[in-house]
Amino acid sequence: MRDLDAFQGFPTPTQATPVPEAFFAEILPRLTSVEEVKLFLVVLRRIRNRKGAIRYVTAHELADAPELGELTDATAAEDTQHGRDSDETVPRIMSDFVRVGVFLGVELADGDTAYFVNDSEGRRAAERVKAGDAELSPRRLSAHREEPPSQPGEIFRLYEDTIGPIPGAGIAQELSETEQEYHAAWIREAFQEAAAQNARRWAYVRSILRNWRDRGRGDGTTQRRPAKDRYRGGEYGQVVRWR
């Protein structure tokens, strides 16, 4: 490890990137270089942090990823020594990951490649893109960047302000994972809906988010439905406890 200023420890609460348990048992023993480990972690983090129903990372994004700068510099020298094109370092490793089934790769119309985690969510997303049911366009990517950013741990404040004290580590972990998965504006609005409907329960907030994820929200904005159309007998009526 390179000399660094003294690490002050991880902040609490903090965002977390879940790593599948199978990585440690089945993938890690098969990796042959630290560069492969670094690339796996960076790709996983970027996919997990992608907001929206379809989570992925593209080859172009990886080529510009600042956290991969030293990886490409170090590995490029080895590639050059072995007569390989140093510009293909990351694509070569990603190709290996796709070949053995760690990630899924889908060629896009613009010549880029989108990568997905090879789990149930990633397989569904990849099939939707292949079938033309979902388009990964620059406009969609820019819409994510234009969204008001969330502050790390904001969901914890929203939970406490709307529902009450966080009851334990299990809910805290679920909140952290939810913050990784959904648009910041979606999370804020889901809590607002819970408060407006006097349904101040995490199960209710979670159901709203999952419904938006599974059924989509049109152009991806967070405009609420008219009050007369909300919930009773509708999309979320089944989770509302009417008094």
pLDDT in tens, 128-152: 999 888 877 543 443 333 344 455 5
Domains assigned to the chain: 21-146 (1.10.10), 154-239 (1.10.10)
Which pLDDT belongs to residue 190? Answer: 92
Which pLDDT belongs to residue 11? Answer: 74
pTM over 0.95: no
pLDDT in tens, 28-67: 999 999 999 999 999 999 998 887 778 899 999 998 888 8
Given a contact cutoff of 8 angstroms between Cβ atoms, the answer to whether 125 and 131 are in contact is no
pLDDT under 50 in the chain at which residues?
A: 85, 138-149, 219-243
